[in-house]
């Protein structure tokens, strides 16, 4: 297993366009998280899944943001009608929820850097 | 709402010196984490602290946790240039859905 994989690494889009990012977690990790990080700030929680169930989505920044994890494996984060303020690094993390591994933290992917022009 | 504050926000130090980064959090926590982030890169896990009094060391970095004071420290011993990075602490709580709440980060620059 090569860890948490995110694609694309970089995305430049024009304002008003829709974008979708993909996250492939570590295969045995049943929890998957999305975070946003703007320049000079700590990551900000957006949403998370346990298997295919989205357990928390109230922190998604607006109704333009949505996330799915249809089969409990990979996840997608979509931003509709992008705005310049959406420019940020979008990070995905996964972790096991139960068992001893649950005490050993979150594994983060390399992130997708979004630039809205 | 859980809040996590780090200080200092920026730290410039000479090689060979010692220093401590502080992380305060506002409510009871289940776990405290320290991460390192290099510019343009993702987060690298350094330590996971699970209980009051926990102390972990790796190389020149040592992290400790005082749950009664809601305080964690990251101590740097005899700093070297390779430690230059941004360091984040983060807290998760079962009652808050086991999501990480991050501090604002401490940008460390170690000068030769």
Give, for all 112 residues of chain B, the pLDDT tens digit.
789 999 999 999 999 999 999 999 998 777 899 999 998 888 999 999 988 888 999 999 999 999 999 999 999 999 999 999 999 999 987 666 678 899 999 999 999 8
Preferred mutation among B37, B42, B107 to probe A, highest tally of A CBs within 10 A? B42
Hey, is the C-beta of B9 within 8 angstroms of any chain A C-beta? no
Render pLDDT for B56-68 as a digit per residue (tens, 0 to 9).
999 999 999 999 9
Q: Quick one: which of B7, B17, B14 has its CA closest to B77?
A: B17
Q: How far is A60 from chain B (nearest CA, A)?
A: 13
Residue with tokens 């993390």: A93
Contact (CB<8Å) B31/A103? yes
- The whole-chain average pLDDT of chain A stands at 91
Contact A57, A69 (CB under 8 A): no
Preferred mutation among A42, A43, A48 to probe B, highest tally of B CBs within 10 A? A42
Hey, is the C-beta of B50 within 8 angstroms of any chain A C-beta? yes
Task: Give the CB-side neighbour count of residue A79, counting CA atoms within 13 A.
Answer: 27
At residue A104, the pLDDT reads 64
Token pair belonging to A43 = 């990551």
Render pLDDT for A87-106 as a digit per residue (tens, 0 to 9).
999 999 998 876 655 566 78
Contact (CB<8Å) B105/A55? no
Cα–Cα distance measured from residue A64 to residue A78, given in angstroms and rounded to the nearest whole number:
8
CB–CB contacts below 8 A, A to B: 53
In degrees to the nearest 10, what's the CA dihedral of A93, A98, A100, A106?
10
Hey, is the C-beta of B8 within 8 angstroms of any chain A C-beta? no
Hey, is the C-beta of B87 within 8 angstroms of any chain A C-beta? no
B48 to chain A: which residues are within 8 Å by CB?
Answer: 103-105
How large is the average pLDDT for residues A73-81?
Answer: 96
At residue B28, the pLDDT reads 79
Hey, is the C-beta of B104 within 8 angstroms of any chain A C-beta? yes
Residues 6+ away with beta carbon under 8 Å from B80:
B15, B60, B110
Contact (CB<8Å) B31/A106? no
Contact (CB<8Å) B88/A104? no
How large is the average pLDDT for residues A102-115?
Answer: 86
* H or E, element range at B46: strand B43-49
Q: pLDDT higher for A97 or A113?
A: A113
Hey, is the C-beta of B2 within 8 angstroms of any chain A C-beta? no
Token pair belonging to B58 = 């790796």
């Amino acid at each position: 297993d090569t860890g948490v994989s995110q694609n694309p690494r970089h995305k430049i889009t024009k304002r008003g366009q829709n974008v979708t990012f993909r996250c492939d977690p570590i295969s045995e990790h049943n929890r998957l998280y999305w975070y946003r990080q703007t320049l000079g700030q700590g990551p900000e929680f957006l949403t998370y899944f346990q298997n295919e169930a989205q357990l928390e989505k109230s922190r998604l920044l607006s109704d333009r943001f949505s996330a799915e994890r249809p089969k409990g494996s990979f996840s997608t984060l979509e931003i509709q009608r992008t705005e310049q303020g959406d420019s940020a690094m979008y990070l995905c993390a996964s972790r096991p929820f139960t068992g001893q591994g649950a005490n050993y933290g979150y594994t983060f992917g390399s992130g997708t850097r979004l630039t809205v022009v | 709402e859980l809040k996590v504050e780090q200080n200092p926000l920026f730290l410039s130090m000479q090689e060979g010196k010692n220093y401590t980064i502080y992380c305060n959090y506002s409510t009871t926590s289940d776990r405290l984490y320290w991460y390192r982030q290099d510019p343009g890169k993702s987060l690298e896990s350094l330590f996971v602290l699970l209980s009051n009094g926990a102390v972990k060391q790796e190389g020149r970095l040592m992290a400790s946790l005082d749950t009664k004071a809601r305080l964690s420290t990251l101590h740097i011993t005899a700093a070297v240039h390779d430690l230059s990075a941004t360091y984040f602490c983060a807290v998760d709580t079962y009652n808050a859905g086991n999501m990480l709440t991050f501090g604002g980060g401490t940008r460390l620059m170690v000068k030769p």
